[in-house]
C-alpha cells in the first residue's frame, strides 16, 4: 500500500468495523480498515448466531439502510427461527444460527471486493491530530496513516485479558492478540474510560453429547430471511438442542464459588446483567432448580457445539464438573474452555447522536468500545458511524436516527444520553414505540432514508417501491363490503360469529382468527405478495393501538423539537437541582426530549428548562 492518505480510517474489523468501513467506502470515501489480525474480520467470538429478541429488529434495520449484516447472515445460515411468536407482532424477533467460519469468510470476501476499501492487518497504537484538521493513525510496526475522519470499532480488544480461574492471559477473545497501547492514546485525547467484562461458554464435541436426553430444535421454514434481498430462507442444515442444568450443577458451583473470578476479586470489570455466567445465575437466582441450556452448532465444518447459557470463568477442572452435571453432557468432551474477558471502553455520553465525539470533530466510535454488548448492537452503530464519517469528510450535515423510527435510534440515544454502568444490551422493553418498530416493517421505516444517504441500490429500492405500491393497493380495498353469504362459511370454519350483516374487509381482518390469506381465498386482495398481505393484516388488526402509539410519538416530538442552545450555562440556571445541573452540563443534550431521558434529570427540572427557554426566546 503505497498511498497512506485516506478519507476514513476504521480501527477494528469486527461487526461494527465492517459496517462502518463498507458504508464509508460505498459512499465514495477512500477507506482503510485496520485489523489486529485478518482472522478477526467479522469473527463471531461468542455465540454462533445473529438476531434474537430486539436484536433481530436491528439486523433488519441495518439491511433496510443498505448494510451488510443481514445479507451475510442469510448467506451463512444453518437455521432460522422466529422468537416470541406467542407474544404478538410487536416483539416477534428473527434469530439465525449461522456458520461462524462461513460468516467470517463471506464478510471478508465482501470487504476485499468493495471498491475504495483497503483491508490491512495492523494494531493501531496512537491517534493524533494533524495540522490540517485531520488525524494520524500509527500502528505497532510504526506505519503512519493520515485521514480526515477516524472510526474506532475496537470491540473488546483494548487492554483486554482473559480469565479461566486463576489463569489470566494478556489476550483478546479466542486467543487473538489484544490492543495494548491505544487506550493510553484515547486518554490523552480526553476520553473517559471504563472497565467492562463479558464471557463465553465452553465448546464441546458433538459426538460426546447424549442427544437422547435433549430436546431437538429444528429450524422453521415459515419465516422470512433477514435481508429483503434474499428470496427465501434456505432449508435448515443443522439442529440445535435444548437441555437443562441440574441440582448437581448448583451444588458444584456453590461449593467452588470461592474459585470464581467474579466472586474472589480477580475480575474488576462490570459484567452484563442480562447475560450472566452460569455461576452468577446460580448465586443470583438461588430459588431456581435448573436453568435452560441451548446446544448450538458452530459450523458445518466442525463438530464443536456452543453451550449457550453456561458461560463461565471457573477453573478448567471445575468447568468439567459443571458441564458434566448438565443433562446430556455427562460424558461431554470439552474442546475449548469457557472464559471471561475484561476490556476498556469509553463513556459514550461523550458522543453525540451521530456517534462523533463532542469535543473532537471527525472522531467516531461504534460497537463494544461504546459500552454495548452484542454483534447486532455493534453493527447498528457501525453503519451509523460509517455514514457520518463520510458525511463529515464531505461537509454534509450528520445523519441521526430517532427513538420513534428505529431500534438503532433507541440504542444510540440510550448510550449517548444515559451513563451506562454495565454493558448495554438492546431489549424490546427499551423501545417505547415497539408496535411501530416491528421487525417486519423495517424497510418501510428506513429504506427511503438509506436511499437518500446513497447506500440503497436501485435493485433494493425497486423492490421496496413494489412492496409499498402493493400495500397501498391493498389498503384501498379495505372498505369493500362483503356479504355474509360470502364470508359465512369461512367464519364458521374459523370459529368466528356470523352477524348476518355485511362486513368490510377491514372489519373482517380485525377478527382474531381471520388472516389476510383467508380474505384472499374469498377472492379479495388478489395479486398481492406475502409481505404486502402481512403488512395489511397487521395494520388492520392493530390499527387502534398503532394510532395511540403514533399520537404518543407526535406528543413526544414537541419536546424533541425544542432545541437547547449549545452554549447554555446549566450551572447558572436557578431552580435546577445540583445533580441535574451537573448531568446536563456534562452530556449537553440537543433538545428537551433528550434532556428528559438523562438519569438524574427530573420532570421538574425539565419544566424549569422550559421556563428558561421561554425567557431566553422572549429576550
Do 585 and 523 have their domain in common?
Answer: no
Q: What is the chain's mean pLDDT, rounded? A: 95
Q: How far apart are CA 303 and CA 296, in angstroms?
A: 10
Statement: residue 619 has pLDDT above 60: no
Q: pLDDT per residue over 9-66, tens digit each?
A: 999 999 999 999 999 999 999 999 999 999 999 999 999 999 999 999 999 999 999 9
Do 603 and 539 have their domain in common?
Answer: no
Give the domain CATH number at 576.
1.10.150.570
Residues 470, 471, 475, 478, CA torsion sign:
positive
Residue 52 lies in a domain: no
Do 144 and 32 have their domain in common?
Answer: yes
Where b means 16+ CB within 10 Å and e means fewer, 469-479 reads ebbeebbebbe
- Domain containing residue 490: 470-548
Where b means 16+ CB within 10 Å and e means fewer, 421-449 reads ebbbbbbbebbebbbbbbbbbbbbbbbbb
245 burial (CB, 10 Å; 0-12 / 13-18 / 19+) is buried
Residue where a domain terminates, one of 295, 310, 340? 340
Q: How far apart are CA 62 and CA 365, in angstroms?
A: 17
Statement: residue 2 has pLDDT above 70: no
Q: Band of the pLDDT at 618, cuts 50, 70, 90?
A: low
Total domains, the chain: 4
Cell of 145: 496513516
Give the domain CATH number at 318.
2.40.30.260
- Alpha-helix runs per DSSP H in 476-572: 484-494, 505-509, 516-521, 530-541, 543-560
Residue where a domain terminates, one of 522, 548, 574? 548
Give the domain CATH number at 511.
1.10.10.1800
Q: How far apart are CA 150 and CA 32, in angstroms?
A: 10
Which bin fits 189, alpha (ψ -120 to 50), beta or left (φ > 0)? alpha
Q: pLDDT per residue over 406-417, tens digit each?
A: 999 999 999 999
Q: 157, 34 in Cβ contact below 8 A?
A: no
Q: How far apart are CA 365 and CA 527, in angstroms?
A: 46
Q: How far apart are CA 489 and CA 321, in angstroms?
A: 61
Q: pLDDT per residue over 498-539, tens digit each?
A: 988 999 999 999 999 999 999 999 999 999 999 999 999 999
Overall pTM > 0.85 = yes
Statement: residue 86 has pLDDT above 90: no
Do 297 and 222 have their domain in common?
Answer: yes
Residue where a domain terminates, one of 383, 409, 431? 431
Q: Give the Cβ contact number of residue 176 at 10 Å.
A: 17
For residue 7, give the H/E element and its range. Answer: strand 5-11
Give the domain CATH number at 381.
3.50.50.60
Amino acid at each position: 500500500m503505497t498511498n497512506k492518505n485516506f478519507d476514513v480510517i476504521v480501527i477494528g474489523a469486527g461487526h461494527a468495523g465492517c459496517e462502518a468501513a463498507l458504508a464509508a467506502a460505498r459512499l465514495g470515501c477512500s477507506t482503510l480498515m485496520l485489523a489486529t489480525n485478518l482472522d478477526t474480520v467479522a469473527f463471531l467470538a461468542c455465540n454462533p448466531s445473529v438476531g434474537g429478541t430486539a436484536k433481530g429488529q436491528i439486523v433488519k434495520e441495518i439491511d433496510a439502510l443498505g448494510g451488510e449484516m443481514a445479507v451475510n447472515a442469510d448467506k451463512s445460515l444453518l437455521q432460522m427461527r422466529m422468537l416470541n411468536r406467542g407474544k404478538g407482532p410487536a416483539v416477534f424477533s428473527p434469530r439465525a444460527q449461522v456458520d461462524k467460519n462461513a460468516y467470517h469468510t463471506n464478510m471478508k470476501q465482501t470487504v476485499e471486493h468493495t471498491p475504495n476499501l483497503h483491508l490491512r492487518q495492523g494494531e493501531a497504537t496512537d491517534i493524533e491530530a494533524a495540522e490540517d484538521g485531520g488525524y494520524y493513525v500509527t500502528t505497532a510496526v510504526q506505519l503512519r496513516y493520515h485521514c480526515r475522519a477516524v472510526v474506532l470499532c475496537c470491540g473488546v480488544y483494548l487492554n483486554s485479558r482473559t480469565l479461566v480461574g486463576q489463569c489470566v492471559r494478556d489476550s483478546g477473545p479466542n486467543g487473538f492478540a489484544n490492543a495494548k497501547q491505544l487506550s493510553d492514546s484515547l486518554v490523552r485525547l480526553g476520553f473517559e474510560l471504563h472497565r467492562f467484562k463479558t464471557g463465553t461458554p465452553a465448546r464441546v464435541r458433538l459426538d460426546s453429547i447424549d442427544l437422547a436426553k435433549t430436546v431437538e430444535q429444528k429450524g422453521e421454514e415459515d419465516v422470512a430471511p433477514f435481508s429483503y434481498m434474499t428470496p427465501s430462507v434456505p432449508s435448515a442444515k443443522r439442529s440445535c438442542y435444548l437441555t437443562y442444568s441440574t441440582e448437581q450443577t448448583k451444588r458444584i458451583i456453590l461449593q467452588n464459588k470461592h474459585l470464581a473470578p467474579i466472586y474472589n476479586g480477580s475480575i474488576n470489570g462490570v459484567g452484563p446483567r442480562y447475560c450472566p455466567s452460569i455461576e452468577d445465575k446460580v448465586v443470583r437466582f438461588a430459588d431456581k432448580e435448573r436453568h435452560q441450556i441451548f446446544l448450538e452448532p458452530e459450523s458445518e465444518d466442525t463438530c464443536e457445539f456452543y453451550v449457550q447459557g453456561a458461560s463461565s470463568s471457573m477453573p478448567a477442572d471445575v468447568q468439567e464438573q459443571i458441564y458434566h452435571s448438565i443433562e446430556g453432557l455427562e460424558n461431554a468432551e470439552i474442546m475449548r474452555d469457557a472464559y471471561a474477558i475484561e476490556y476498556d471502553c469509553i463513556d459514550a455520553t461523550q458522543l453525540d447522536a451521530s456517534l462523533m465525539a463532542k469535543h473532537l470533530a471527525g472522531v467516531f466510535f461504534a460497537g463494544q468500545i461504546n459500552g454495548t454488548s452484542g454483534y447486532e448492537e455493534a453493527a447498528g452503530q457501525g453503519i451509523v458511524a460509517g455514514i457520518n464519517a463520510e458525511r463529515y469528510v464531505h461537509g454534509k450535515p450528520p445523519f441521526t436516527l430517532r427513538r420513534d423510527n428505529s431500534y438503532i435510534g433507541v440504542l444510540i440515544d440510550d448510550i449517548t444520553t444515559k451513563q451506562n454502568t454495565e454493558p448495554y444490551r438492546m431489549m424490546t422493553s427499551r423501545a417505547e414505540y415497539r408496535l411501530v418498530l416491528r421487525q417486519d416493517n423495517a424497510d418501510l421505516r428506513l429504506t427511503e432514508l438509506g436511499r437518500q444517504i446513497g447506500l440503497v441500490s436501485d435493485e433494493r429500492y425497486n423492490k421496496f417501491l413494489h412492496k409499498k405500491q402493493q400495500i397501498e393497493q391493498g389498503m384501498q380495498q379495505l372498505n369493500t363490503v362483503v356479504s355474509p353469504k360470502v364470508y359465512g362459511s369461512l367464519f364458521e370454519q374459523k370459529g368466528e360469529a356470523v352477524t348476518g350483516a355485511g362486513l368490510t374487509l377491514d372489519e373482517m381482518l380485525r377478527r382474531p382468527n381471520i388472516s389476510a390469506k383467508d380474505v384472499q381465498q374469498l377472492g379479495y386482495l388478489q395479486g398481492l405478495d406475502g409481505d404486502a398481505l402481512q403488512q395489511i393484516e397487521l395494520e388492520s388488526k392493530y390499527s387502534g393501538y398503532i394510532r395511540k402509539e403514533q399520537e404518543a410519538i407526535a406528543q413526544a416530538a414537541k419536546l424533541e423539537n425544542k432545541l437547547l442552545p449549545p452554549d447554555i450555562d446549566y450551572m447558572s440556571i436557578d431552580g435546577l437541582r445540583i445533580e441535574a445541573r451537573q448531568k446536563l452540563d456534562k452530556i449537553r443534550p440537543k433538545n428537551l426530549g433528550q434532556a428528559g431521558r438523562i438519569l438524574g434529570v427530573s420532570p421538574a427540572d425539565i419544566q424549569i428548562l422550559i421556563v428558561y427557554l421561554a425567557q431566553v426566546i422572549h429576550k
